[in-house]
Amino acid sequence: MSGPDAASETPRVVVADNPSLSRFEISVDGSLAGQATYRDVRSGRAFDHTEVAVEYEGMGLASTLIRFALDEARTAGRKVLPFCPFVRAFIERHPDYLDLVEQPRRFRLSP
């Protein structure tokens, strides 16, 4: 669709786990916009890195992506290890996810 109505359409955002690549992916209108990589370790799921493509920055996609990943961990009964600075900061801003952190004292998350 083109014209004035095209700009007002809400983009279609989809988040999914891609276990074959060990990452959660977020796409906008069918295009990969970002990812959060992880490693499954004995004590839980270690999040290593989160990134969103420059052209999609400022849309809140990284937060949407991490919220999905943490909710998935909670549903699966997994602990998380927030090595990724963005994941760590997200949990600090949303302490309702602190219960998921494996050894929270080790990470010294702010109250």
Each domain of the chain, given as residue ranges in start order, spans 4-107
From the number of C-beta atoms within 10 Å of its C-beta (0-12, 13-18, 19+), residue 20 rates as exposed
The residue written with tokens 């004995």 in the block is 42
What is the residue type of 57? E
Query: Is the pLDDT at 108 greater than 80, yes or no?
Result: no
Please state the rounded mean pLDDT for residues 23-44. Answer: 96
Mutual orientation of helices 61-76 and 85-93 as an angle, nearest 10°? 80
Query: Is the pLDDT at 68 greater than 90, yes or no?
Result: yes
Look up the pTM and report it.
0.84
Please state the rounded mean pLDDT for residues 33-39. Answer: 98
CATH superfamily of 4-107: Gcn5-related N-acetyltransferase (GNAT) (3.40.630.30)
Query: Is the pLDDT at 3 greater than 90, yes or no?
Result: no
> Distances from the Cα of 44 to the Cαs of 39, 53, 88, 105, 109, in angstroms?
9, 27, 15, 16, 18
